[in-house]
Structures are given as structure tokens and as C-alpha cells.
Structure 1
Amino acid sequence: MNRVYVCSCFGVTEKQVKQHADAGACTPRQIASACKAGTDCGGCVRRIQALLGRGACPQRELIEQGAPAPAAEPERFEFPEAA
């Protein structure tokens, strides 16, 4: 098995970045939110940008065609129940 690491700090592979991109992550910041790649030393951010630039981003394509961007789900915080 040939693993090409993009982010050595968190052990994120090229395949994982592509999987997150296929799931809708279109920017390095969205990749970072998904798997932390690019959040430590930052040395992999340009590589992530290059990977994202090569593939099609379904969300970006929809926006360019005039479709509204999908709304992000609000974060939910649940308070622990009092004892």
C-alpha cells in the first residue's frame, strides 16, 4: 500500500484529503475542520490547495451555475442535565 502523506503533523494522506473534498470540503480551511491537516505547522497548506485545485468541487460548481450554496447546519450545544 502506497500512502502519500500530505500532513505529517496529523498523518493525513492525499487519499483522505481527496475523500474530504469529495464530501464537500472545497477550501484548505474546510479540510482543516474535517481532519486538522494544515492547523499545526502549516507546511502542508499549499499541497492541500494544489490537491483541491485539481479536482472538481461539487459545491463550487453549483454556486458557479447560480444555485444557492447549501446552508451550513448550526452547531448544537447541549447543556448537561443538572443532577
Structure 2
Amino acid sequence: MFVCSCFGVTDKQIKEHADAGACTPRQIASVSKAGTDCGSCVRTIQGLLGRGACPRRALIEQSESAMSENAPAESPMAGTTLSEAA
């Protein structure tokens, strides 16, 4: 079934892009142009993407949590002004 008649994008193509990591209508648009002309298909694209787990989003969350775990501990002088340190 065609989802975007402006650019001839099918529901199968949307699902393939989603499986490859496109999690939002904007990401779908960047790889297929779907939703960038008249915009009438954006709601259908949102419906196809659903609210399920997004592989790309899960990777981003994992990397963010890893970065926060590896962040250096705050120094004892953090938040101290120059006049307080002197």
C-alpha cells in the first residue's frame, strides 16, 4: 500500500527504514522524502512507527548512560567562585 503518493513510498519501505533505525517521521523523511511534500501521510507514518521500542533510541540511551557512568567525579572546588577559593 502506498503511504506517500507524492514520492511513491510504500508501507513496506517505511517498515524497512524503521527496522534500519529510523524512529521518527522526520528520520523517515530524511531517507525517503515521505511526508515532505503535502504532508498528508505524516500521521500514517506515525501510526506505522507506533510507540514501540526503537533500536536507535535504545542505543542512544545506552551510550548516554555509559557516558554518565564514566564521567569524572566532581572536583571539591566545583561551584566555588574565585573569591571563595582565595
Q: CA deviation at 1:61?
A: 3.2
Q: 1:43 to 1:18 in 2, by over 3 A?
A: same
Alpha-carbon RMSD across the aligned residues, in angstroms, is: 1.5
Q: TM-score, normalised by structure 1?
A: 0.68
Question: Which whole-Å CA distance do the structure 2 matches of 1:8 and 1:55 have between them?
Answer: 25
Residue 21 (structure 1) aligns with: 18
Question: Which whole-Å CA distance do the structure 1 matches of 2:64 and 2:20 have between them?
Answer: 18
AA of the residue aligned to 1:8: S
* Percent of pairs with identical residues: 75
Larger-Rg structure: 2
Q: 1:6 to 1:27 in 2, by over 3 A?
A: same
Q: CA deviation at 1:59?
A: 1.6
AA of the residue aligned to 1:42: G
Structure 1 residues without counterparts, runs of 5 or longer: 70-83
Match of 1:68 among 53, 64, 68: 64
Residue 46 (structure 1) aligns with: 43
Higher helix share goes to which structure? 2
Question: Which whole-Å CA distance do the structure 1 matches of 2:54 and 2:60 have between them?
Answer: 10
Q: TM-score, normalised by structure 2?
A: 0.66
Structure 2 residues without counterparts, runs of 5 or longer: 66-86
Q: What SS does structure 2 have at the residue aligned with 1:41?
A: coil
